[in-house]
């Protein structure tokens, strides 16, 4: 059996199911290009039957990305499969990924189907998908809680019907590593012709075991791992791509597995997902967290200085964390900025570069050294944005130990200039209250966080907000050397996203 592990990235499908992490079409395409650069084998681009927006995004990604397989998800029925094929057929190497639940719990309470009916639906789905492509994946939803004999039976049937990949999800994140590993082993030993297909693992993180379970599955014969960047996904998320890949790479003495991933693209991919979705990476997150390579204890610092291997099992540069080799400032020209942007992996049009150069000059007037993180923040603000319905034009805030915090705000709303003023318990509250009254929104602020994107006294503040209105959730992000301005930008970005998601709702489909 080959030691090569196929990396199937589902950030754009399962990852996008994280509450508030919805992305628009341009953001999805941008991320797909980055995943191609990261060299994932398969990009699961979406669930075309879920909404028109999902269909369009999958179609666009299928047409543009040439160096990865593009998968589209479909329930085990004719309509979903036809729709998935319509969306994905333009890809260089398209895949249809069809699924049905197989555990008795799901059969009894959700599907209300017998085991025989489920096998029949699965076989028909695979046969239908095979009329379009040989690249068909079949998933057993809630697989880890499925009776092993029934699992072997349904897998035998779908392999006979032509599935090339069979996936065993731990949908509810219930499995224990040893147990899940043994489950995969039983499948490897109990299903006829299993050696002719790829066995895949797809683990959720409800008990914090998604990566451990994924590795246990691989150790016992699986050769595809379904993962997401930063581990984002439904509820507690999915197994994180960076953790699985770096565990395999770092512990080649444990088992000699290989992947196709360009690991130096891990950090840029993590940053991009965080910037696009507004989902902050916790500082102590393995591999990509801000503290992942920071040594605080004196004894550790001393050890690393003596020899890196004393306390470091990976180098920060392995995952693409660069020390800022070239720092820009207010005397840097357009060429230097362009070169830096290209070095960061972005390809911008001349028009985008012009806008960005203006923003860069403005920032350089306030901040002495412009680091890579600052440039990325400018790109996120200017280029990766949902088409803005609301724009911040002007903000003036009065606050202090004796003054009543007051904000005066000017915004552009649907092309019209509006001005307002208001109070609050603090300057940020005053700003948000004023903007809310001006645009007449009922959006509630349910989360607010502020951090510095680089070190130093003049670092830019990065504010993330989570807004909620009538069941819709949107995250917003804003950066500025002034944290009140950053907060206003984040709030307005959240309102823009909320308004986009309300106009382009994702129909909730029953799985
Ligand atoms: O978690 C799960 O079971 C899934 C399937 C649809 C593959 O995401
Ligand atoms: Zn899943």
* Portion of the chain with pLDDT greater than 70, in percent: 97
pLDDT digits (tens, 9 = 90+) for 445-478: 998 989 888 878 888 999 999 999 988 888 888 9
**32 Cα to the center of ligand 1, angstroms:** 20
Residue 195 alpha carbon to ligand 1 centre in Å: 23
202 lines ligand 1 (CB under 6 A): yes
- Give the pLDDT score at 248: 98
Instruction: Please work out whether the CB of residue 169 comes within 6 Å of at least one atom of ligand 1.
Output: yes
Predicted pLDDT at 510: 63
Task: Please tell me the predicted confidence (pLDDT) of residue 331.
Answer: 92
Q: Residue 326's pLDDT is what? A: 67
Greatest mean pLDDT range, 150-154, 264-268, 454-458, 461-465: 150-154
- The label of the residue with tokens 């967290």 reads 289
pLDDT at 508: 57
Lowest-confidence segment of 87-96, 242-251, 356-365, 384-393 by average pLDDT: 384-393
> Which pLDDT belongs to residue 382?
83
pLDDT in tens, 312-322: 899 999 999 87
141 lines ligand 1 (CB under 6 A): yes
* The predicted structure's pLDDT at residue 454: 80
Ligand 1 atom closest to residue 169's alpha carbon, by position in its atom list: 3
Residue 152 has pLDDT above 70, yes or no: yes
Distances (CA, A) of 191 to 97, 143, 151, 271: 20, 15, 9, 41
Q: Tell me, in angstroms, the distance from the centre of ligand 2 to residue 200's CA.
A: 12
Max distance between CA atoms of the chain, in angstroms, equals 78
Atom of ligand 1 nearest to the CA of 142: 3
SS3 content of the chain, % helix, strand, coil (to 5): 45, 20, 35
- State which ligand 1 atom lies nearest to the alpha carbon of 238: 1
Mean pLDDT taken over the chain? 93
Question: Ligand 1, closest atom to CA 167?
Answer: 7
Q: Does residue 14 line the site of ligand 1, with CB under 6 A?
A: yes
| Percentage of the chain exceeding pLDDT 90 | 76
Position in ligand 1 atom list of the atom nearest CA 143: 3
- 145, two tokens: 């809680």
**Angle in degrees, CA 24, 26, 30, rounded to 5:** 115
Average pLDDT over residues 279-300: 84
pLDDT at 112 (0 to 100): 97
For the ranges 41-55, 110-124, 180-194, 444-458, which has the lowest average pLDDT? 444-458
Residue 384: pLDDT band (50, 70, 90) is: confident
507 confidence band (pLDDT: 50, 70, 90): low
pLDDT band at 511 (very low <50, low <70, confident <90, very high): low
Q: Which of 171, 224, 232, 236 to mutate to test the pocket of ligand 1 (most atoms within 8 A of CB)?
A: 171
> Model confidence at 290, in pLDDT bands (50, 70, 90)?
confident
Helix axes 78-88, 52-64, angle to 10 degrees: 40
Predicted confidence at residue 324, as pLDDT, reads 55
- Tracing tokens 């004719």 back to the chain, one arrives at 78
Say yes or no to pLDDT of 286 above 80: yes
- Residue 158, CA distances (Å) to 59, 86, 145, 147, 478 in order: 27, 22, 19, 17, 48
**What pLDDT, on a 0 to 100 scale, did the predictor assign at position 325?**
56
State residue 296's pLDDT score.
66
Check if 171 has its Cβ closer than 6 Å to any atom of ligand 1. yes
Most confident of the following: 179-183, 402-406, 470-474:
179-183
Q: How far is the CA of 228 from the centre of ligand 2 (A)?
A: 10
Per-residue three-class SS string for 237-248: CECEHHHHHHHH
Residue whose token pair is 């509450």: 19
Tell me the mean pLDDT in the region 389-396: 96
Nearest CA to ligand 1 atom 2: 171
Count other Cβ atoms within 10 Å, centred on residue 170: 28
DSSP state of 108: I
Given a cut of 90, is residue 24 above it in pLDDT? no
Cα–ligand 2 centroid distance for 260 (angstroms):
22
376 lines ligand 1 (CB under 6 A): no
pLDDT at 37 over 60: yes
Ligand nearest to the CA of 73: 1
Ligand 1 centroid – CA 496 distance (Å): 30
């Amino acid at each position: 059996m080959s030691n090569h592990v196929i990396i199937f990235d589902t950030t754009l499908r399962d990852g996008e199911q994280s509450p508030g992490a919805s992305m628009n079409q341009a953001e999805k395409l941008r991320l797909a290009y980055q995943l191609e650069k990261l060299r994932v084998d398969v990009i699961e681009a979406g669930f075309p039957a879920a909404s028109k927006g999902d269909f369009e995004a999958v179609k666009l990604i299928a047409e543009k990305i040439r160096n990865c397989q593009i998968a589209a998800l479909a329930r085990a029925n004719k309509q979903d499969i036809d729709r998935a094929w319509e969306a994905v057929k333009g890809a260089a190497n398209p895949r249809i990924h069809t699924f049905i639940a197989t555990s008795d719990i799901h059969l009894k309470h959700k599907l209300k189907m017998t085991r025989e009916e489920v096998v029949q639906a699965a076989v028909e789905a695979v046969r239908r998908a095979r009329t379009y492509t040989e690249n068909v994946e079949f998933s057993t939803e809630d697989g880890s809680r499925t009776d092993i004999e029934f699992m072997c039976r349904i897998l035998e049937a779908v392999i006979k019907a032509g599935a090339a990949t069979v996936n065993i999800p731990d949908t509810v994140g219930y499995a224990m590593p040893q147990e899940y590993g043994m489950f995969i082993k039983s499948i490897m030993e109990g299903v006829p012709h299993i050696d002719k297909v790829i066995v895949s693992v797809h683990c959720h993180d409800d008990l914090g075991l998604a990566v451990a379970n994924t590795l246990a599955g691989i150790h016992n014969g699986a050769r595809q791992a379904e993962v997401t960047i930063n581990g984002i996904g439904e509820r507690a998320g999915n197994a994180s791509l960076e953790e699985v890949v770096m565990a395999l790479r770092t512990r080649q003495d444990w088992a000699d597995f290989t992947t196709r991933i360009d690991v130096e693209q891990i950090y840029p991919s993590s940053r991009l997902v965080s910037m696009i979705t507004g989902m902050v990476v916790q500082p102590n997150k393995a591999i990509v967290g801000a503290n992942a390579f920071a040594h605080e204890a004196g004894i550790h610092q001393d050890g690393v200085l003596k020899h890196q291997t004393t306390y470091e099992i990976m180098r920060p540069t392995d995952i693409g964390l660069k020390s800022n080799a070239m720092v820009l400032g207010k005397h840097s020209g357009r060429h230097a900025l362009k070169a830096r942007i290209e070095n960061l992996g972005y390809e911008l049009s001349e028009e985008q570069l012009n806008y960005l150069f203006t923003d860069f000059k403005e920032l350089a007037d306030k901040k002495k050294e412009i680091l890579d993180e600052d440039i990325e923040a400018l790109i996120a603000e200017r280029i990766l944005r949902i088409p803005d319905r609301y724009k911040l034009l002007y903000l003036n805030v009065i606050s202090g130990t004796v003054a009543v915090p007051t904000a005066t705000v000017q915004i552009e709303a649907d092309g019209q200039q509006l001005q307002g003023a208001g109070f609050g318990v603090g300057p940020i509250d005053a700003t948000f209250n004023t903007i809310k009254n001006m645009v007449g929104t009922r959006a509630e602020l349910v989360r607010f966080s502020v951090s510095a994107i680089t070190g130093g006294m003049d670092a830019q503040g990065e504010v993330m907000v989570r807004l909620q209105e009538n069941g819709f959730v949107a995250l917003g992000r804003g950066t500025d050397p002034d944290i009140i301005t950053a907060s206003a930008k984040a709030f307005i970005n959240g309102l823009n996203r909320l308004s986009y998601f309300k106009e382009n709702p994702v129909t909730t489909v029953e799985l």
